[in-house]
Amino acid sequence: MNEVIQEGRNKEEALKAALEKLGVTREDVDVEVLETHREGLFGFIGSRPVKIRVFLKQHDDSNFNRIEEDFEDEIGHVQGNPHVAYPDNVTPEDVVKDFVTKVFSCLEVKCDIEVIEGENNIYVDIGGDDSGVIIGKFGQTLDALQFLTNVIMTKKYGNKKKILVNVGDYRQRRETSVKKLARSVARKVLKSKKPEALAPMPPQDRRIVHLTLSTYDHIATTSEGTGKNRKVIISYKD
């Protein structure tokens, strides 16, 4: 499902319902107002709700591809060479920030970068006017950046801490949205006893669905398809 037509008492109510149906966050969609709210006689006779069309943003894979292409040589180089230690005056946070800055320069985006080293992870928080570009559809560009940063840090520097890249609280909101979608579809399957297929999702989102429904009685989840078309099937089981 790439779009929904949704009605509500106001735009905010309609948008919230549409996002739950699509299983996405506000950054993933565009909104078109089809009908505005109209008060009826005595407040209800002839009243008309708000009607909106909510549809997934057209995602340009060029951001994802450009990251991979521009750093392909560097990735190939570090995969074939043993890692080197950090210089005494350079911290892991410095190396991570330098790499992410180079990626943003490649993409010609301006973002604020804050890097914090925790006990087990290195956290990269991205902000600024262009930060939405880094998310991409379903967070795919954000995942690509996180993956490549981890590859560089592990292969080249032997970094043992996982790098977690986020734009604001996007990942938390995305996880909440996917969980709501999974539970909503599971309730529908329990009533109808007929399988339901979710829209294709990236691996992280599919994992959230599987984990969310793993404790449900009479519900089974499987993944079908390949590549970008891989999706979760929610089925009823006796």
**pLDDT computed for residue 41 by the predictor:** 43
Structure tokens belonging to residue 17: 């319902």
* Same structural domain, 43 and 66: no
Burial status of residue 74 (CB atoms within 10 A of its CB: 0-12, 13-18, 19 or more)? middle
Whether pLDDT at 169 is above 80 = yes
- Backbone CA torsion sign across 152, 167, 176, 160: positive
* Same structural domain, 89 and 29: no
* Same structural domain, 50 and 71: no
By C-alpha distance, which of 127, 73, 123, 122 is closest to 104?
A: 127
CATH number, domain of 89, equals 3.30.300.20
* Same structural domain, 131 and 185: no
pLDDT tens digits, 175-222: 998 999 999 999 999 999 999 999 888 888 999 999 999 999 999 999
**pLDDT computed for residue 218 by the predictor:** 94
* Same structural domain, 77 and 153: yes
More confident residue, 106 or 221: 221
**Global pTM value:** 0.66
CATH number, domain of 185, equals 3.30.1370.50
3-state secondary structure of 109: coil
* Same structural domain, 185 and 148: no
**pLDDT computed for residue 209 by the predictor:** 94
Last residue of a domain, one of 108, 142, 168: 168
**pLDDT computed for residue 32 by the predictor:** 86
More confident residue, 21 or 46: 21
Last residue of a domain, one of 151, 168, 185: 168
Report d(CA 187, CA 22) in Å as an integer: 16
Structure tokens belonging to residue 235: 């089925």
Neighbours of 135 (CB within 10 A): 25
Range of the domain at 226: 172-236
* Same structural domain, 52 and 77: no
**pLDDT computed for residue 109 by the predictor:** 85
* Same structural domain, 217 and 177: yes
Which uninterrupted H or E stretch holds 104?
helix 92-107
pLDDT tens digits, 109-161: 889 999 998 888 999 999 988 888 888 877 888 888 898 888 888 877 777 88
**pLDDT computed for residue 95 by the predictor:** 86
Sequence-separated (6 or more) residues with CB below 8 Å from residue 89:
none
pLDDT tens digits, 35-92: 886 654 444 444 678 898 888 766 555 555 555 555 555 545 444 455 666 666 778 8
> How many domains, in total, are found in the chain?
3
What Rg value do the Cα atoms of the chain yield, rounded?
22
* Same structural domain, 179 and 91: no
* Same structural domain, 24 and 95: no
Which uninterrupted H or E stretch holds 196?
strand 196-197
* Same structural domain, 66 and 161: yes
* Same structural domain, 145 and 162: yes
**pLDDT computed for residue 113 by the predictor:** 94
